[in-house]
Structure 1
Amino acid sequence: MNSSDWIDTGTACALLGVKPQTLYAYVSRKLVRAQADAADARRSLYARADVETLLQQNHRPRARAEVAEQAIRWGDPVLVTAISEVREGMLWLRGRPVDDCANTLTLEDMAALLWNTETVACPAIDIASTLPDPIGRALEFLAQTVTGASPMQQLTPEEIAREGGRLMSGVTNALLGRNATGPIHLRLGRAWAQEPQGCDDLRRALVLLSDHELNPSTFAVRISASTGTSLPAALLSGLATLSGPRHGGVASVARAALQAALDGNQQAFLTEHADRSPYGFGFGHPLYPAGDPRARHILDRLAPDTPPAVALRTLSRRFGLSPNIDAALATMSMVYGLPDEAAFTIFAVGRLAGWIAHAIEQVESGEIIRPRARYRERS
């Protein structure tokens, strides 16, 4: 194809009559090819032939079941929410751009905003687990807390906020493996021996990760909450889902890729993981064709000449895609000398605020989430 065969986002959306999110869904399902704009790596271009073929296909009537099946994979939202949305290349949290939130709020402040409450307190919670694995300790804490917990429908908003603060505190301490107190970002900073700037960047990262529409772990929380379960049970569903290597575990793979690049083993590492897409290494994002704003916020605060930042740019050029939040988290963790599990800990602790907000919203809706299945014979 020559340059005239590639069109920008606005043109592709206009031809198809869809929003950018739907166009990105087509790309993720390999219905439309995309490539970085040689004149501006922050922009993406789309194959005109693929767009025109898809336009012809979309003119034929489609059964409701087929539409629903396609929509659930990076498609239009399957639930209405007032908590967060990706719009115009920016993540908005309760109507505020995520950059603004990260500049001014702590995670506790962010939780109060997302939960529609005045303040959120995270009291001291003692953790007695002897498990060596951070995820195991956090799952164990939530599982133990489920016993005796009341269904959310039986709690007042004030009681839910108090329980949410306790659960955020307990999960944080379980992931860290220590009985820490104080603001969440300072607990992480003290555990990882950070100076004030490092602590502030941890605060920002927690806020940036506090919510992100209906990602897999958030959807799992909402499904659980829709059945009338307790808040710790709903969070248990979310944390278990986040622990998967294709969700919360991507940052660990991104860190390994960065380390391989630093060690001069980049090609061997990528060959060994040839089954992974660039997204699986933390590069590119179907919802952000011009680049993940959360990643930019983190990376703009890091010195560009540090070895991890240089390695990140090398991988970004290799993939022809901008880093997303996972690769940015991995880079920040390496620059500050954080432990290997730090990126997951930051992700999980920050996302707790959003999970609780979605659990509250789902309970208030009074609806149960129950999609239908379409049977298909296995070949």
Structure 2
Amino acid sequence: MDALPRLSAAEAAARLGVKPATLYAYVSRGLLARERSAAGSSFDPLEIEAFARARRRDPSAATTRAPAQPGTPLMVLDTDIAQIDDDELYYRGRPAVALIDRPVEDIAVWLWGAEDRQPDSQPDAQAIATARALIAALPPGATELDRIHAAITGLAAADPLRYDATPESLRRAGALLLAGIPRALLPAGMHDDHGRDSGSDPDPDPDPDPDPDPAESVAATLWRALGGTATGAAGIRAVNAALVLLVDHDLAVSTLAARIAASARGSGYAVVTAALGAFDSPLHGNASRAAAALLADVVAGSAPDAALARAVRDGGRGVPGFGHALYSGTDGRARALLPLIAELPGAAPILAAVDAVSSEVLRRAGIHPNVDLALAALTLSAGLSADAGVAIFAVGRVVGWIAHALAEYEERPLRLRPRGRYVGP
């Protein structure tokens, strides 16, 4: 490993959350190996990652125990939406993997309890135009998540009923967001003919940017919006499966943020905006971006161990796309998605990189793939935009955030306002 990127003592200590003196105590007790050179001590990043994971599972495995984290967990909330049992994700008692061939719209109707009162799921042309205008005003370097934020702002501003704090209004706003966000993200000139640019039409429609066919699925519209090909049936199926599998996952930080906004009786738009504030983070919603960079490095010719070492060193937060506190083995969502990705024409080299990296990480750190690695594989295999995995994750999670908001609307208002304990001077 001499030629591979290694962690400095400061980087290794930061990854473990300890002081440098504690790190060297681990070395002196034979718990960690180090190499010394004129530049100082250095550490194998995958050995550090395996050690960090072992300490999370059993803090007594290290001679010096990490400081306790008071207030963890901060709270325990009852939920009837998602459950993880024996490494499998369930939605209201049904395995999530058994639902991946159902349109995500149907899952939303089911989880929102709207079977007998279907909300209007199609935002009007003015709402879409407003959302697209805000997206168009963003600078060229804007991410997909920036565009989603802008789309939500536009859809909310065009909804005169958004402050109606009722469950029915939540369902309606959720349906408008689920259908409206992908439509707002469509590039200018992309028609309801599924991808033909208006410039190729000898007699173009007077409307330069008409909406897609209202019958087109959320997955199909999102697929096209993120750069998928017009004939991408396999890609659309994979995107829909990802949307369904990402609907909910216990009380993630973004879901807690959504429930706090709902506790204050925020609108559906406010709930999703609050959730996105926590979602837009390297430890949650953005994790697939780093995983995609790791896979791309391997596909470009880097050895898996060298690519992994660089990813751990540069990210400073573990191996991107691997490990999850709620699973003892491979994340079942990744296990369900990867076979669908294999059906894409460009998937072979990407999945070969997934296998190579997974084998190396399992051998060196004992960690299994999570759903972010599968999202990264989908993004690269389909040639989608660089952070398409983040966008797919966010759109799918809208369904869960609204479901949790509906549950919170049934509770006492403002119950999630904690009381501070002053500890200052």
Same fold (TM over 0.5): yes
Determine the structure 2 residue equivalent to 1:108.
105
Residue matched to 1:246: 283
User: Match for residue 13 of structure 1?
Assistant: none
Residue equivalent to 1:91: 89
Cα separation, 2, equivalents of 1:258 and 1:140:
30
CA distance 1:364–1:349, shift in 2 (3 Å): same
User: Does residue 344 of structure 1 match 2:390?
Assistant: yes
Quote how far apart the aligned CAs of 1:161 are: 2.1
2:218 is the counterpart of 1:184: yes
Residue 16 (structure 1) aligns with: none
1:332 paired to 2:378: yes
Q: How does 1:134-173 map to 2 (within 5 A)?
A: 134-147=144-157, 148-151=160-163, 153=165, 155=166, 157-173=167-183
Contact 1:260–1:269, Cα closer than 8 Å, also in 2: no
- Contact kept, 8 Å, 2:298 with 2:307, in 1: the verdict is no
RMSD (CA atoms): 3.3
CA contact (8 A) 2:265 2:413 kept: no
Work out the number of aligned pairs and report it.
Answer: 324
- Alignment partner, residue 122 of structure 1: 121
Q: CA offset at residue 226 of structure 1?
A: 0.7
Correspondence 1:307 to 2:349: yes
The residue matched to 2:368 in structure 1 has which SS? coil
**CA contact under 8 A between 1:211 and 1:351: conserved in structure 2?**
yes
State whether residues 226 and 362 of structure 1, in contact with CA within 8 Å, keep that contact through their aligned partners in structure 2.
yes
Match of residue 289 from structure 1: 328
Q: Any gaps of 5 or more consecutive residues in structure 1?
A: 1-26, 35-45, 55-65
Match of 2:245 in 1: 208
| Correspondence for 2:310 among 271, 291, 313 | 271
Partner of 2:407: 361
Cα separation, 2, equivalents of 1:313 and 1:199: 23
Identity %, equivalent residues: 32
| Length-normalised TM-score, structure 2 | 0.68
Distance in 1 between residues matched to 2:50 and 2:78, nearest whole Å: 22
Matched, 1:258 2:268: no
Shift of 1:299: 0.9
Q: Distance in 2 between matches of 1:329 and 1:263?
A: 19
Residue 374 of structure 1, CA deviation = 4.9
> Is residue 2:275 matched to residue 1:228?
no
Residues 207 and 31 (structure 1), Cα distance of their counterparts in 2 relative to 1, 3 Å cut: closer
CA, structure 1 residues 270+345, in 2 after alignment: closer, same or farther (shift >3 Å)?
same
Counterpart CA distance in 2 for 1:70 and 1:151 is 34
Whose Rg is larger? 2
Shift of 1:334: 1.4
**Aligned with 1:365: secondary structure?**
coil
Letter matched to residue 81 of structure 1: T
Residue 260 (structure 1) shift: 0.8
Shift of 1:259: 0.6
Question: Equivalents in 1 of 2:264, 2:241: separation in Å?
Answer: 33
- Which amino acid is 2:355 matched to? R
Give, in whole Å, the separation in 1 of the partners of 2:283 and 2:185: 20
TM-score (norm 1): 0.75
Consecutive unaligned residues in structure 2, runs of 5 or more? 1-48, 189-210
Aligned to 1:21: none
Q: Secondary structure at the match of 1:301?
A: helix
Amino acid at match of 1:324: N
Provide the rounded CA distance (Å) in 2 between the counterparts of 1:53 and 1:33: 10
Q: 1:277 Cα deviation (Å)?
A: 6.0
- 1:230 is aligned with what amino acid? S
